[in-house]
Structure 1
Amino acid sequence: MRCTVLASGSKGNCVVIAGSGGAILIDAGLSTKELLRRMDVAGIDPGTIDAVLVTHEHGDHIKGLDVLLRKLNRPVYATEGTLADFLNHRRTSDKPIVHHTCTCGERFSIGDFLIEPFATSHDAAEPCGYIVSEDSCRIGYCTDTGIITPPMLELLMNCDGIVLESNHCPDMLANGPYPESLKRRIRSKRGHLSNPAAAACLQAFGKDVPQVILAHLSEINNTPEKAMVTAREGLGLFFEESRVTVATQCGSTPGSPQEIRL
């Protein structure tokens, strides 16, 4: 399996998980034209995409979704709350699309992939993350959550690779330009995971999760360097440069791959 970050951050999010017989896309937070361009740069054939999984309905995760689904003629999977919001309020067209409801804690299959949605804690209708498995390989995708609950931690600890939110540095957020109401939202249990919170997850993982991509970094309240330093502190003796990657808004490029390979 290979997990490639095409975009990560407040301006748009999208990753592709490719397996032996196909691929799935998680979120479509860029325009369809830009997503297809980034797939081409990353060497991903759009024709291999079997379906799109959506974590929640915020614009930086579904901006290009409606057009992309119609262009690729592929189904979308999301929770009932996310689908209802997307279909009733966010779509830009009334042309039919194929959509399926998934339920947190209930596994389902897409081709050779086994998908397990799990609940996250974010100010959206019914947000979720995903565990994607093929054979014995497991990749976890967990962003846009204010906290990591024990059930979430247990699921992630059993993965071979994880895309994990490390959104903000608390000091940069406190001293930054955002209004106090937005700062409270970001810090809340239904906001975004801070660098120290992400580091606490990594500390719990210890040596059990071989590869981690730190994702959804704020361009205003964080830096890749700060996220990496905090992650290094969390992993301690288990830290290895090759083990942790920081995803950026520009995504994976030939000279700077942001990938998990299993």
Structure 2
Amino acid sequence: MRCTILASGSKGNCTYIQGGDSAILVDAGLSAKETLYRLAHTGCAADMIDAIIVTHEHVDHIRGLDVLARKLECPVYATGGTLADFLCHRRTSDKPLSTHSCRYDTPFVAGGFTVSPFATSHDAAEPCGFIIEENGEMLGYCTDTGIITSHMLDLLRRCDGIVLESNHCPEMLANGPYPESLKRRIRSSRGHLSNPAAAAVLRMLGKDAPQVVLSHLSEINNTPDRARASAREGLGLFFKEKCLIVATQKGSTPDIPQEIRL
């Protein structure tokens, strides 16, 4: 299984996951045009994409969803709450769009993958992360959550690779330009994981920590170096340079691939 980050951050999120003969996208937070461009320039096969699975309805995760799903002629999978908000309040087109509702902890099949949604803690209608499995390989996708529960940790512990949020440095957030109300939202249990919180997850995983992609970094309240240093501290003796990637808004490029292969 190949997991390629096309974009990760507050301006847009999109991840390409390819298996043996099928591929899916997690989120579509770039424009359709930009997504197709990045797919082509990172060697990702758009014609293999059989579905788009969506974590939640915030614009940095669904900006290109409507147009992209129709261009790729593939269905959209999301929780009922996410779909209701998207279809009723955020979608402007009335052209046909294939959508399917999924439920927490109930696996479904998307293309060649078995996908199991799990609840995350974020200020959205019904947000989720995903465990994505193909041929015995498992990828955990866990972003946009203010906390990591024991259930989430148990799921991630089974995975061969994880995409894990490491959104902000608490010091940079506290001293940064955001209004206090927004700072409280980011720090809350329904906000975003900080660098220390992500490091704590990796510390709890310990020797079970798989290949890791740190994702959804704030361009204002974090830096790749800070996120990496914090994760390295969390992993301690289990740190392996080649097994830790820090994703950025630029995503994968031919020169700097941001991807893991399970």
The reply to whether TM is greater than 0.5 is yes
The number of aligned residues is 262
SS of equivalent residue, structure 1 residue 206: helix
Per-residue CA deviation, residues 68-104 of structure 1 (Å, 9 max, x unaligned), is 0111111000000000000011112011100000001
% identity of equivalent residues: 70
| Superposed displacement of residue 44, structure 1 | 1.1
- Structure 2 segments unaligned to the other structure (5+ residues): none
Amino acid at match of 2:104: C
Alpha-carbon distance between aligned partners in 2 of 1:23 and 1:221, rounded to the nearest angstrom:
33
Q: CA RMSD in A?
A: 0.6
| Superposed displacement of residue 205, structure 1 | 1.1
Superposition map of 1:75-154 within 5 A:
75-154=75-154
Quote the residue 1:68 is aligned against.
68
Amino acid at match of 1:235: L
Per-residue CA deviation, residues 5-32 of structure 1 (Å, 9 max, x unaligned), is 0000000000011000100000000000
- Structure 1 segments unaligned to the other structure (5+ residues): none
Quote the residue 1:39 is aligned against.
39
Alpha-carbon distance between aligned partners in 2 of 1:46 and 1:235, rounded to the nearest angstrom:
35
Superposition map of 1:167-246 within 5 A:
167-246=167-246
Alpha-carbon distance between aligned partners in 2 of 1:109 and 1:75, rounded to the nearest angstrom:
12
Alpha-carbon distance between aligned partners in 1 of 2:137 and 2:209, rounded to the nearest angstrom:
12
Per-residue CA deviation, residues 120-175 of structure 1 (Å, 9 max, x unaligned), is 00000000000000011000100000000000000001000000000000000000
Per-residue CA deviation, residues 180-238 of structure 1 (Å, 9 max, x unaligned), is 00000000000000000000000011121320000000000000000000001000011
Scaled by the length of structure 1, what TM-score is found? 0.99
Matched, 1:253 2:234: no
Alpha-carbon distance between aligned partners in 1 of 2:145 and 2:210, rounded to the nearest angstrom:
22
Alpha-carbon distance between aligned partners in 1 of 2:94 and 2:204, rounded to the nearest angstrom:
46
Alpha-carbon distance between aligned partners in 2 of 1:59 and 1:216, rounded to the nearest angstrom:
14
Quote the residue 1:165 is aligned against.
165
Alpha-carbon distance between aligned partners in 2 of 1:107 and 1:143, rounded to the nearest angstrom:
19
Amino acid at match of 1:101: S
User: Any runs of at least 4 consecutive aligned residues in structure 1 with deviations exceeding 4 A, and if so which?
Assistant: none
